[in-house]
DNA sequence: GCGTGCTTCTAGAACGTTCTAGTACCCGAG
DNA sequence: CTCGGGTACTAGAACGTTCTAGAAGCACGC
């Protein structure tokens, strides 16, 4: 059955059209559409039928314009960043469960953070959830003066008042990874770090702390790395060239780890038999069957849920203080780690 | 300097606030804000200054509500699909260049296509750009009755009236891939196919056609595959088990190709020395340094540009017929193909 | 007969913008 | 001095919704 193309002329159907069709007032149709109370079951049915007949669909702009609330949470994310797209997926679910909607605004090569945020503000989002924002603290403060802001996966030092931060316990994650390797009997554990990437300093510190705690201070070896596969590959080259090869490597993140893996494969060093490798993030990459990387998983679902909660509770009670939520990561054991060979 | 927190109470500043501040009428402020003509340079400056002072920001909802045009193109995409996110990136650029804006609506585990599209319709998008839509033809026809619709990367058979299709010449791509391998001296070229995935039939056909054309009809070997890395790995296992190993493999897509690669690595079959591998899509995966996959690139920028063009030209002149645009792919030679070893 | 209270419904004003149809003014031509 | 025609500006009505106030109807208790 064809979907009855709206009203006579090209316009989309409005409340008034439905009202005319059903022979009631506009206000009553509004009541029915919102599911508010104040309409008898009989008319309710009649109105709904009329709406269906002429293909009425509420206009969210008009709706938001009138009711001062938009119930819109603006999300800025990097469209090419798998970690961000994972988060977005969970944000949809989290927002829906508390009666809010998500407005997406991507950052891409052709679209700056500034543009992304401006567009969200123009849509009158009630709050901003920024994934890994690069904006300077001053800019964030400026935004925070306007509406509740939360920064996910980007630590702010010093904290910016009005901006709540949600991040993974990077140091704790690195410690867990080292603990895992040590429990497998490894002692020569190297770390390919993330340079100046967000979180890199914490992971480096976590690695050092754990090594010290296990009495392996003299085995600490930090190789300059980065957040791309290329960085990992280069670092692994350096590692092999150096001669004394460690029995395990903790990489800054999964991309870096896969880069290292590829170097090892090419050099016919078998993983995990000759060397164990641990990544960080539990990205899609790590889960690919031929990568099958042991890694520290960030609790993305939890982070998304926290982001929505923090922001909505500030909308409801505007005096809620901002702070920081640090989410614990957990180890996911896959195929790139195994017990150290004796000796 | 602090960003002067809007108007006395909590409200966001409106045209009326700016008007009051600058001592002019609301209509004039509107003129200045739109950059329309009808204001003297002097007042223009004064109004802009007032707007800046109280932190005015236009309300896009009200703006769209009043002017019948929204200049909004709704884009439905799979948030986890790298091919889609690549497209989105180019869509932003393409839309901007013709004065339209993009409204994103993601499909995810927790969000169905229906929800995604409903939200776009509620925002009163003027047209829909659907990336790889799964919706049945009837549903698409229903949407097409409402507004211009274009389906990217999803062939519709039979064509749905009102829905324009933009897709890659999959058969042509497979032929080019085979040509490349043949030109390198390969003759035993197998194809790991995509089963029932969109485009798979065309790529299979292109492979067969090319093999025939090169007089290699008796070397045709199609292995059941799929679109995941796992599918590729499994198919490669079968290939090796079968004994008579081909000298080259054309995989359905990059994910499938990397799956095959991993099996080959593990089985110590060196690529490309012993066997050449070609993927399809030129996804991010293919570009990773340790994958470095020769592949058929889809012309994403062109597809995005076409999507925007087709849809906007229908908005401007509603009688533009719908049809199909078939975009040529091109070969990207990387490290997984080389000349066949003699014999 | 008259208030009271409940349900069902409606008129009309908002929301922040753009657009239409003006008014007010100035300048030069007749 | 009036007319025409531009430029600078403004009042007020839209756009499609929600919300506030209140009206109409009805049953009930006195």
Residue among B58, B89, B262 whose CB faces A79 most closely: B89
Whether residue B148 lies inside any domain: the answer is yes
Task: List B residues 87-146 in contact with A (Cβ-Cβ < 8 A).
Answer: 88-90, 92-93, 96, 101, 104-106, 108-111, 118-119, 121-124, 142, 145-146
Query: Range with the lowest mean pLDDT among A101-115, A306-320, B169-183, B296-310?
Result: A306-320
The whole-angstrom separation of Cα B273 and Cα B327 is 32
**Buried b / exposed e along B136-163 (16+ C-beta atoms within 10 A):** eeebbbbbbbbbbbbbbbbbbeeebebb
Q: Report d(CA A52, CA A46) in Å as an integer.
A: 10
- Provide mean pLDDT across the span B224-234: 91
- Residue percentage of chain B with pLDDT more than 70: 97
User: Taking residues A81-89, what's their average pLDDT?
Assistant: 92
Query: Which residue in chain B has the smallest CA separation from A56?
Result: B122
* Set of chain A residues whose Cβ sits within 8 Å of the Cβ of B60: 119, 122-124
Strands B127-131 and B101-107: unpaired
Nucleotide nearest to A19 (CA to C1'): C10
pLDDT of residue A6: 42
Angle at A30 between CA A25 and CA A35, to 5 degrees: 130
For residue A62, the chain B residue with the least C-alpha distance is B65
What is the C-alpha separation between B76 and B155, in angstroms, rounded?
Answer: 16
pLDDT at residue A68 in the model: 85
Domain around A194 = 170-297
> What is the C-alpha separation between A86 and A92, in angstroms, rounded?
10
Contact A286, A326 (CB under 8 A): no
Give the gap in angstroms from C-alpha A217 to the nearest C-alpha of chain B.
Answer: 32
Distance from CA of A240 to the nearest CA of B (A): 17
| Contact A65/B at CB under 8 A | yes
Q: Would you give the distance in Å from CA B117 to the centre of its chain? A: 17
A78 CA → C20 C1’, Å: 43
A284: nearest CA partner in chain B: B80
Establish if A74 touches chain B: CB-CB under 8 angstroms.
no
User: How far: A56 CA to C14 C1' (Å)?
Assistant: 23
φ/ψ region of B137 (left if φ > 0, alpha if ψ in -120 to 50, else beta) reads alpha
Please tell me whether residues B261 and B150 are part of one structural domain. no
> Which of B6, B31, B58 is the endpoint of a domain?
B58
Q: Could you say which of B61, B108, B259 has the minimum Cβ distance to residue A92? A: B108
CA distances from A54 to A2, A13, B115, B118, B147 (A): 11, 7, 20, 16, 15
CB contact at 8 A, A129 and A74: yes
- Minimal C-alpha gap between B222 and chain A (Å): 22
Q: Does B176 reach chain A within 8 Å, measured CB to CB?
A: no
- What pLDDT score was predicted for residue B10? 65
Domain boundary among A7, A35, A58: A58
Which has the closest alpha carbon to B293: B335, B330, B263? Answer: B335
Q: Nearest CB to B122: which of A2, A5, A58? A: A58
pLDDT tier, B291 (very low <50, low <70, confident <90, very high otherwise): confident
Euclidean distance between CA atoms B16 and B29, whole angstroms: 8
The residue from B297, B314, B335 where one domain ends is B297
Nearest chain B residue to A3, by CA: B142
B318 and B234 housed in the same domain: no
Same domain, B85 and B26: no
Q: Rounded to 5 degrees, what are φ and ψ at A294?
A: -65, 135
Residue A249 near residue A293 (C-beta atoms within 8 A): no
Banded pLDDT at A105 (limits 50, 70, 90): very high
Residues A33 and A80 in one domain: no
Of B266, B332, B265, B333, give the one whose Cα is nearest residue B299.
B332
The residue written with tokens 């309409």 in the block is: A39
B342 — pLDDT class (breaks 50, 70, 90): low
pLDDT for residue B4: 45
A315 reaches B (C-beta below 8 A): no
CATH number of A50's domain = 1.10.260.40
Cα–chain center distance at A55? 37
Residues A106 and A127 in one domain: yes
A269 interfacial to chain B (CB closer than 8 Å): no
- Work out the average pLDDT over A66-85: 92
* Claim to verify: residue A54 and residue A87 sit in the same structural domain: no
Write the DSSP assignment of A53-118 as a string of letters.
HHT----HHHHHHHSS---EEEEEEETT-HHHHHHHHHHHHHHHHTT-EEEEEEEBTTB-HHHHHH
What pLDDT was estimated at residue B317? 82
Q: Scan for tokens 């108007």, then name that residue.
A: B7
CA of B16 to C1' of C28 (A): 37
Rounded CA separation B138/B129 (Å): 17
Q: What is the mean pLDDT of residues A12-41?
A: 95
What's the domain count of chain B?
3
Tell me whether B237 touches chain A (CB under 8 Å): no
Specify whether A82 is located in the same domain as A111.
yes
Query: Among all strands, which nt has the closest C1' to A56 (CA)?
Result: D16
Residues A215 and A254 in one domain: yes
A252 inside domain: yes
CB B258 within 8 A of CB B229: yes
Structure tokens at B342: 């003699």
Nearest-CA neighbor of A132 among A206, A197, A192? A197
Secondary structure (3-state) at B76: strand
The answer on A130 and A80 residing in a single domain is: yes
Gap from A214 CA to chain B (nearest CA, Å)? 34
The H-or-E segment that residue B148 falls in is none
Identify the H or E element spanning B289: none
How do residues A160-215 score in pLDDT, each as one tens digit? 999 999 999 999 999 999 999 999 999 999 999 999 888 999 999 999 999 999 99
Residue in B59, B124, B262 nearest the CB of A289: B262
Maximum CA extent, chain A: 88
Same domain, A225 and A265: yes
Q: Chain A contact for B40, CB < 8 A?
A: no
CA distance B125 to B122: 8
Q: How confident is the model at residue A82 (pLDDT cuts 50, 70, 90)?
A: confident
Distance CA B300, CA B156 (A): 19
- Whether B343 shows a pLDDT value over 80: the answer reads no
What CATH number does residue B118 fall under? 3.40.50.2300
**Residue B35 and residue B184 share a domain:** no
């Amino acid at each position: 059955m064809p979907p009855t193309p709206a009203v006579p002329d090209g316009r989309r159907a409005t409340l008034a059209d439905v009202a005319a069709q059903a022979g009631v007032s506009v206000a009553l149709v509004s009541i029915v559409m919102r599911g508010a109370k104040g309409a008898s079951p009989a008319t309710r049915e009649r109105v709904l039928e009329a709406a269906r007949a002429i293909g009425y669909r509420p206009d969210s702009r008009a709706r938001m314009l009138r009711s001062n609330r938009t119930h819109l949470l603006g999300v800025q994310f990097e469209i090419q960043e798998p970690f961000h797209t994972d988060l977005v997926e969970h944000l949809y679910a989290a927002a829906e469960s508390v009666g809010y909607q998500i407005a997406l605004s991507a950052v891409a090569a052709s679209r700056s953070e500034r543009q992304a945020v401006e567009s969200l503000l123009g849509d009158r989002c009630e709050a901003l959830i920024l994934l890994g924002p690069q904006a300077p603290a001053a800019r964030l403060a400026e935004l925070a003066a306007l509406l509740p802001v939360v920064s996910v996966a980007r630590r702010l030092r010093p904290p910016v008042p009005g901006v709540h931060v949600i991040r993974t316990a990077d140091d704790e994650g690195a410690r867990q990874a080292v603990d895992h390797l040590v429990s497998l009997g490894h002692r020569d554990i190297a770390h390919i770090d993330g340079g100046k990437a967000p979180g890199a300093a914490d992971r480096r510190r976590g690695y050092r702390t754990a090594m010290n705690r296990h009495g392996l201070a003299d085995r600490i070896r930090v190789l300059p790395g980065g957040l791309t596969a290329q960085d990992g590959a280069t670092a692994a080259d350096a590692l092999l060239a150096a001669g004394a090869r460690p029995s395990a490597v903790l990489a800054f993140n999964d991309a870096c780890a896969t880069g290292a893996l590829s170097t090892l494969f090419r050099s016919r060093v078998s993983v995990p038999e000759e060397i164990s490798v641990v990544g960080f993030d539990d990205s899609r990459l790590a889960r690919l069957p031929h990568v099958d990387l042991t890694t520290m998983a960030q609790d993305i679902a939890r982070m998304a849920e926290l982001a929505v909660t923090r922001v909505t509770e500030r909308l409801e009670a505007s005096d809620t203080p901002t702070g920081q939520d640090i989410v614990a990561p957990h180890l996911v054991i896959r195929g790139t780690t195994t017990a150290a060979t004796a000796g």
